[in-house]
Structure 1
Amino acid sequence: MTAFLLSQIIIGFAAFFDLLSFQFKERKKIIICFVFAVILIAIHFALLEQWTAAGLMALAAVRYITSLFTTSKQMVVLFSISSLVVTYFTYSGFISLISCTASLFQNAAAFSKEDKQLRQFMILATSCWIVHNIIIGSPTAVLLELLFITSNLVGYYRYYVKTPKEVAEA
């Protein structure tokens, strides 16, 4: 089995956790799903030798675990600086900047106190990851991010766009 094929299989398992994540309203459950997903996504990127993305996803696992215990804005700064350091040491061109931008949005999302703001930042981050994954040629990762953003938008609609009467009827 090639590294590419294995990477595509692993990203499929990550999709399960990503899809599940935004069907919860409770922030803690959303974050726990993210932890499992980003560990698998980091392995996927490492198999594709996308070291900036792999490093940022490994850092994301630590970030999400930390965010279970605090929503301190100081942590946003700490993890944003850490993202920039990872990007600096693994820089491989414009693609590294795209993954870093996505990571910065994810830092803001992870330490958001409310799930509504978390969802909004994740829409921005996911958009960056879609572009990143198209450029690196990982079709399953593109599909994962498209499913992730769709799941997020469905959850956002369910909790924040529907009128209270529609929510009560659902």
Structure 2
Amino acid sequence: MSPFILSQILAAIAICFDLASCQFKERRRIIACLIVSCLLITAHFALLQHWTATGVAGLTAVRFIASYRTTSKKAMAAFIAASLLVAAFTFHGPLSVLSCLGSIFGTIGSFCADDKRLRQLLMAASSLWLVHNILAGTPVATLMEALFLTSNLLGYYRYYGRGKDDTGLPPPAGPLRQ
């Protein structure tokens, strides 16, 4: 089996974890699915020899492990600095810039305490990765980001759309009586 085909299979498996992550409300469940997805995507990009993407995807898996336990802004700053270092040492043009920016938005999101802001920033990060994957010529990873973005939008709408509050419940249907 060629490295390209194997990379696409790994990305396809990662899709399952990405889609599942967006349908959870609990922040820790979202992050647990994303840890597995990132590990698979790290191997995917390594097989394609996209080294900045490999480095930041691996760093992202470690970041999600850390953010599972903490929302520390110091930890967030350390991971942003690490993303910049990976991109600087592996720089290879626009793909490096896109993967680094995607990593930074994802880092800020993953250290947010609430799932609403986490979702918003992950949508921004996913948009950058979508462009990256199109330019990198990886069809399954492109599909993965498109599906992740769509699933995240649906999850966001389910929990926060049409006037819902942070509990995910619609507002009361009429005047409150006392």
TM-score bracket, normalised by the shorter chain, equals over 0.9
Alpha-carbon distance between aligned partners in 2 of 1:68 and 1:2, rounded to the nearest angstrom: 35
Per-residue deviation, 1:139: 0.6
| Corresponding residue number in structure 2 for 1:14 | 14
What is the deviation of 1:167? 4.3
Structure-1-length-normalised TM-score = 0.95
Aligned to 2:55: 55
* Alignment size in residue pairs: 168
CA deviation profile, 1:5-55 (whole Å, cap 9, x unmatched): 110011000000000001000000000000000000000000000000001
Matches within 5 A, 1:1-170: 1-164=1-164, 167=169
In structure 2, distance between residues paired with 1:32 and 1:127 = 21
Bigger-Rg structure (1/2): 2
Name the aligned partner's letter for residue 117 of structure 2. Q
* C-alpha RMSD of the superposition: 1.4
**Where in structure 1 are there 5+ consecutive unaligned residues?**
none
Task: Name whichever structure is richer in helix by fraction.
Answer: 1
Seq. identity, %: 49
Structure 1 stretches of at least 4 aligned residues deviating more than 2 Å after TM superposition: 162-168
Q: State the TM-score, normalized to the length of structure 2.
A: 0.91
* Alpha-carbon distance in structure 1 between the residues aligned to 2:146 and 2:169: 25
Gaps of 5+ in 2: 171-178
